Amino acid sequence: MERWGVHELELAGPAGGNPFAEVRLSARYQYRNRIVEAEGFYDGDGVYRVRFMPDAVGPWSYTTVSNVTELDGHTGVFEVSPASEGNHGPVRASGIDFEYADGTPYLPFGTTCYHWTHDMDEEREQRTLRTLAASPFNKLRMCVLPTGAMMPPEVPFAGHDPDGLDKSRFNPVFFRHLESRIQDLRDLGIEADVILFHPYDGGLRGIEDMGRETDHAYLRYVIARLAAYRNVWWSAANEYDFNKSKTVEDWDDILRTIARLDPYEHLRSIHNGTRMYEIATLYDFTKPWVTHQSIQHWDVTPTDEWLRACPKPVVLDEICYEGNLDKRWGNVTGEELVDRFWEGMTRGGYVGHGESLLGFQERAWISNGGGLFGDSPARIAFLRRMEESRGDAFLRYLGRRQQAQVTVELPADGPYRVELIDTWNMTVTPVDGEHKDRVRVALPRRPYLALRMTRVSQ
């Protein structure tokens, strides 16, 4: 076992009745004088599993606890080795930024493929993974539940889909497939931002209003299966405020339940939908069970205001998509999307990508993955390289304006080296000389420029 890997127990137990609801199983893992309890789950055919993510190097032991004799009292020991190269542990919020558990900074550059796993199309899923591996994206938003318009081969619940589902039982076939893709993302160094609920069932399966008890059972099962993977984040819902069956108090309860059930304290948030083009109706992210702000809004300029109001990281998960749909959220140009990336990032936030281009493949990237065909990913990769190499330098983004010159006030600890960045053409041009107090830079007549100021080492 390596640190932040997955330790898995497999046990044989009863298959009769409803094991999902009637059998309780957990394991108490001990390292020195610390005990962490991980819930188990029924995986079908009389097989029960417990998954655990150890966070310390050295000897661990475990003891299972169950209301069923065959599953209770199993013990064992195992050794945890240091993490392998590229394994930095789960991502945590650190002030208004993020870092991995080992202290390595993490800069989220996210994208969205809501239902890339639902069709169980192996060829397309492998193509999606290859596309992601060659992209700048290190976070992926993805749904557990299907939408009402979909008829996938497998769904999370047992029974006949859509009108005969038994929501007290789960479908291990569906979840085995889902977790295999989450493991693939982990191996690529990509965080899986798992969306647990959404408002787009249309009454077909009744998943928008399952009741609190069923919601809790669903959360318990999903978290027991997925929480041991270090690359998981929890998004309580996509566009939560479009679900008219749930109140804010219901979402509070769901987020508190996630926090209680997840022994690893993975990142948790919830995503708004209402009036994204006027006034953002945001969840109250100051609540203690939320780790970061997940925001949908077309205008990224309030990012610094959101940070002042709530000193937790701002992730602008949806700012419209590069595409050609007949919806205003899905037809911005590559230039506009990249402009919003730079504006949001230089204001202290983290911005997410989406692509809704029709005419290149059967369904757009945001729905089913596959390939990326837009102009923005290459420019987002350029921005990621800028951010990862920035160090103590500071940026000033000039946006859509195309003034002839700009004056920048410099800190008193200079001198500073200044560079002109063309964010669209992806060029970096030094400005002659070293500069103190202030610098006046002549600009070419075009928009989407930025300046980078780096203090000269003495």
Domains, the chain, in order of start with CATH, read 7-80 (2.60.40.10), 91-388 (3.20.20.80), 394-455 (2.60.40.3950)
Q: How confident is the model at residue 166 (pLDDT cuts 50, 70, 90)?
A: very high
Question: Can you read off the two tokens belonging to residue 121?
Answer: 């199309």
- Prediction pTM value: 0.97
Q: What is the pLDDT of residue 457?
A: 84
- Distance (Å) of CA 189 to CA 11, 56, 138, 242, 341: 30, 20, 7, 32, 21
Q: What is the pLDDT of residue 277?
A: 63
> CA 299, 306, 344: angle at the middle one, nearest 5?
45
What is the mean predicted confidence (pLDDT) over 347-355?
98
Q: What is the pLDDT of residue 279?
A: 62
Q: What is the pLDDT of residue 280?
A: 62
For the stretch 14-54, pLDDT in tens is: 999 999 999 999 999 999 999 999 999 999 999 999 999 99
In 400-448, where do the E strands start and end? Answer: 405-409, 416-422, 427-435, 438-442
Amino acid found at 293: Q
Residue 458 has pLDDT above 80, yes or no: no
Burial class (CB in 10 A: 0-12, 13-18, 19+), 348: middle
Q: What is the pLDDT of residue 313?
A: 98
Under 8 Å between Cβ of 27 and 62: yes
For the stretch 247-296, pLDDT in tens is: 999 999 999 999 999 999 999 999 998 766 666 678 999 999 999 999 99
Beta-bridged to residue 65, according to DSSP, are: 26
Three-state DSSP at 321 gives: coil
Q: How confident is the model at residue 241 (pLDDT cuts 50, 70, 90)?
A: very high
For the stretch 173-225, pLDDT in tens is: 999 999 999 999 999 999 999 999 999 999 999 999 999 999 999 999 999 99
Q: What is the pLDDT of residue 358?
A: 96
Q: What is the pLDDT of residue 414?
A: 82
Between 120-129, 266-275, 425-434, the lowest mean confidence (pLDDT) is in 266-275
Can you say whether residue 316 is alpha, beta or left, with left for phi > 0 and alpha for psi between -120 and 50 degrees? beta
246 CA to centre of own chain: 23
Could you tell me what percent of the chain has a pLDDT over 90? 95
The mean pLDDT value of the chain amounts to 96
